[in-house]
A = this chain, B = another copy of it.
């Protein structure tokens, strides 16, 4: 069996940064709370819990100590409220998410209606909306939904960082006829764009793909969908233990990839597990360059 693992796997810099900030805080001691799961990976969240980070759903559950704002960002009013209540705030909002938030805010300040492309219920979209509260804001997830929008003289568009370029492009294409001025900000995460291009290329070279990551991770789920749409056998797992080794026997060429909140270590464990399947094992690092 030949196992292909891209050079660039594991956490994106936004997730690495968030975890680093949390580790720094852990060293300082005190009670530390995460407002929602820090990242969309149950195993990492469980490890943080063991280290003393407690996940809470509401700010009201925290009486004292430090509150971690996760990389997806939040409504800025929440940060204000936490500070007013005397809590220490460690804000790990991803710089790409922050840019989408600030752009939405700037658009509202300049009298643009704002269209957010993404899923209304996703915490990142909720944070973007929170940053543009005083304006007209529409969240849409596909180009069919554009039809429901009114005519807007000036509209600005931002996009959830994990959105696919294809869907974003289709939405903008359909939005143009509904506006005089349409100001489009491509806030899709560059790391995710690159990883998708890499996975697209890898999936075409192999018989099967193992995609590793949290079931609740938007960007991991999209990698799974992409692989399946290419037509390659695709296994979506969270941990090494989820591997169905029997099903994989006899496969000659297999690829492994993770989402941006999947630890590199998990990928490597899975690679080793696959390599243990037969004696003529081989692992290849592949590096695919994309702009």
Contacts and interface: CB of A to CB of B under 8 A. Distances in A.
A196 B179 CA distance: 18
A165 B174 CA distance: 10
A184 B176 contact: yes
A73 to B, nearest CB: 19
A165 B179 CA distance: 12
A103 to B, nearest CB: 8
Contact of A185 (B170, B173, B181, B186): B181
Contact of A173 (B151, B172, B180): B172
A168 B172 contact: no
Interface residues of A, number: 19
A184 B177 CA distance: 11
Interface in A144-177: 151, 165, 168-170, 172-174, 176-177
Contact of A184 (B165, B168, B169, B184): B184
A256 interface: no
B182 A176 contact: no
A183 interface: yes
A203 to B, nearest CB: 20
A180 B176 contact: no
Contacts of A176: 165, 168-169, 172, 184, 186
